[in-house]
Amino acid sequence: MNDTWNEICYELKSCIFNNALEKEYEEAFVNCMRLLGWKKSKKEISTQNVIQVGHEKKYADVVALQDGIEQFVIEIKRPGHVLQPEDEKQLFSYMRLLKHQVPIGIYVGDDIRIYYDDVSTQQYPECVCSIEIVEDNPIGSQFVELFSRDNFRLQHLVEFCKKQKARLDEQNQIQAEVQKILSDEKGSIFKELLKEKYTHSGYSLEWADAVLEQITLNVSPSVRNQSIEVTSKILGVSTGDRKNRDRTRYSILGGKPLPKNRFVLEVVRLFVKNNPKTYHEYVGILNPLRQDSFGTIERLSKANEPRYFMAEEDRLQSLDGVIFVVCTQWGISNIAPVIQFANEQGYNVIPFNSDK
């Protein structure tokens, strides 16, 4: 499976590196389908497949068929194309307008994305898997297993998508709950739980209130595992007091301790140095580390000072020539994902508490 995936990477990476035209990229992916065992001679691959919509004709880039019945549809955009909602909607319309409506759609650009249409939800299809086009990618090997012609079973693919969707839904629920807890600045949720514990233990409500009125709860993400930490302080010491601001610095690979924003810059710089990729690939890997409108990185042409490191020596460049910069806005509330990412890369992050 891994050898086949690596051949697919070789085919597609050549197009990405040479910034191929969309038609050339489509031909390359058709060759990839042949590597997976799908045959044009047996009419298992249909390119520019005609879809009749009223009096209008539309053309799906590639449709895979089994015994003359459509199994999945593929939308292909040239390398460097930034995926837009309109691109997804176009793929979704093809999935639903084919003679035999298909639950699986594939988007091919700088990465490969699998979409699943759960018609029972009455919602748009969802991306359940994004696969980076790099050699020896274990998810790529799974892609080969799922889409190889000899092994292909649509029901197996649907079951895979359902499991992926369930995992994503669970993660979204977890993140929603985390945000709910983090937005409770006064710690009301935890105070109510403590009050319930005290009353169940036989204490009066007045007693519980007397205890809880004397403490303030500060809720923040845990640096180590992104779970929720609750710390208490004697009433009268404001959690927003400047003298209590977190001043932890971090070093990587035994280097000097750095402020949080410089630490993030060095993590990104080191990752870029060791992992040459296109800008779109970097966006897919690095921007999820920061869930807001800034993102971890941004194109130099779109970035604004002072929210990004704009100095010439701090700028970075992707494999496809895009110059980009790193966000400067980092604190204890959003640094945890970067720390975890850095440790996953083997950068050996060490915190230094400068308050002591």
Task: Residue 101: name the closest of 34, 59, 51, 54 by CA.
Answer: 51
Q: Which residue has the higher pLDDT, 179 or 99?
A: 99
Is residue 82 within 8 Å of 287, Cβ to Cβ? no
For the cut 80, the answer to whether the pLDDT of residue 259 exceeds it is yes
- The per-residue pLDDT for 216 is 85
- What tokens were used for 280? 């779109």
Distances (CA, A) of 61 to 26, 58, 95, 108, 356: 7, 10, 12, 10, 62
- The per-residue pLDDT for 119 is 81
For the cut 70, the answer to whether the pLDDT of residue 234 exceeds it is no
d(CA 223, CA 330) in angstroms, rounded, equals 13
Q: What is the DSSP letter of 69?
A: E
Q: What percent of the chain has pLDDT over 90?
A: 53
Q: What percent of the chain has pLDDT over 70?
A: 92
Task: Residue 62: name the closest of 70, 93, 54 by CA.
Answer: 70
Q: Considering the chain, what is the average pLDDT of its residues?
A: 86
Residues 100-150: tens digit of each pLDDT: 899 999 999 988 999 999 988 778 899 988 888 888 888 899 999 999 999
For the cut 50, the answer to whether the pLDDT of residue 226 exceeds it is no
Averaged over 247-254, what is the pLDDT? Answer: 87
- The per-residue pLDDT for 353 is 72
Residues 298-317: tens digit of each pLDDT: 998 888 878 999 999 999 99
d(CA 139, CA 187) in angstroms, rounded, equals 41
pLDDT band at 351 (very low <50, low <70, confident <90, very high): confident
Which of 9-13, 24-28, 41-45, 172-176 bottoms out in mean pLDDT, i.e. has the lowest? 172-176
- The per-residue pLDDT for 11 is 94
- What tokens were used for 126? 């969802």
- What tokens were used for 196? 């319930």
Is residue 63 within 8 Å of 26, Cβ to Cβ? no
Task: Tell me the three state secondary structure of residue 129.
Answer: strand
Averaged over 184-189, what is the pLDDT? Answer: 83
- The per-residue pLDDT for 240 is 42
Task: Tell me the three state secondary structure of residue 167.
Answer: helix
- The per-residue pLDDT for 71 is 96
- The per-residue pLDDT for 354 is 56
d(CA 325, CA 314) in angstroms, rounded, equals 7
Averaged over 23-45, what is the pLDDT? Answer: 96
Task: Residue 23: name the closest of 64, 65, 71, 62 by CA.
Answer: 62
